[in-house]
């Protein structure tokens, strides 16, 4: 049985695991020596700084997915620079420029920090990941609706997210929910959704 509930600090280890297992490289069988690298970037800072914007999907009580985000991605990026990435950069020094491993690429992202995408009409940001056991059963849409309703409750005007152009299933998923393209990049799209009003 599936259930969606608010995040609890005891979920943090599970969220790291879900973030890792849903990464495209890992899904293709390419393991990382340090599986926490991805969670350091894409999961943990969100639940540490804004836990009220994280919802966890469980199956028979075990976490199998999450949706999380931030009210203001620009302010969040600044806070991560001040409070999150500095100790991680000490723990993970920049790799040799010739190192082309997956681990090296992830560490370089930690040193790069969160990119600041300024969309004043869509200041919030979200990420959603589900393990295979939860996919294709409508759980993602339920989680998105819960997250978007939470943003409406706290009067956030809009939300954005990034999705790879190759991830056609995700593109269709977001477009069905009403997301529209805000900006095109080489390999990905920035999508946005206005909350509480018609998109224009």
C-beta contacts of 26-34 below 8 A and 24+ residues apart: 30/102, 32/102, 32/103, 32/106, 33/103, 34/103
- Compute, in degrees rounded to 10, the torsion defined by CA atoms 167, 169, 174, 176: 150
Name the maximum alpha-carbon separation found in the chain: 49
Residues paired with residue 164 on neighbouring β-strands, in sequence order: 188
Q: Is 91 helix (H, G, I), strand (E, B) or coil?
A: helix
> How many alpha carbons lie under 13 Å from residue 60 in its C-beta half-sphere?
1
Burial class (CB in 10 A: 0-12, 13-18, 19+), 61: exposed
The helix (run of H) or strand (run of E) holding residue 51 is none
Query: For residue range 47-86, what is the model confidence (pLDDT) as tens digits?
Result: 999 999 999 999 999 999 999 999 999 999 999 999 999 9
Q: How confident is the model at residue 197 (pLDDT cuts 50, 70, 90)?
A: low
Q: What is the pTM of this model?
A: 0.93
Q: Which residues are registered as beta bridge partners of 70?
A: 125
């Amino acid at each position: 049985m599936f259930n969606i509930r608010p995040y609890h600090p005891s979920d943090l280890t599970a969220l790291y695991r879900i973030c890792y297992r849903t990464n495209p490289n890992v899904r293709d069988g390419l393991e990382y020596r340090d599986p926490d690298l991805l969670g350091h970037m894409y999961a943990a800072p969100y639940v540490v700084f804004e836990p009220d914007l994280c919802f966890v999907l469980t199956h028979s009580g075990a976490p199998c997915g999450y949706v999380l985000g931030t009210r203001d991605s620009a302010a969040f990026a600044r806070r991560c620079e001040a409070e999150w990435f500095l100790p991680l950069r000490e723990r993970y020094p920049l790799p040799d420029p010739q190192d082309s491993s997956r681990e090296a690429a992830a560490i370089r992202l930690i040193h790069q920090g969160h990119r600041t995408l300024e969309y004043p009409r869509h200041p919030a940001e979200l990420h959603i990941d589900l393990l295979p056991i939860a996919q294709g059963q409508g759980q993602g849409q339920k989680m998105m609706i819960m997250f978007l309703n939470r943003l409406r409750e706290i009067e956030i005007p809009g939300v954005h997210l990034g999705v790879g152009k190759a991830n056609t299933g995700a593109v269709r998923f977001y477009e069905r929910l009403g997301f529209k393209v805000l900006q095109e990049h080489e390999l990905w799209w920035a999508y946005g959704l206005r909350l509480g009003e018609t998109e224009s």
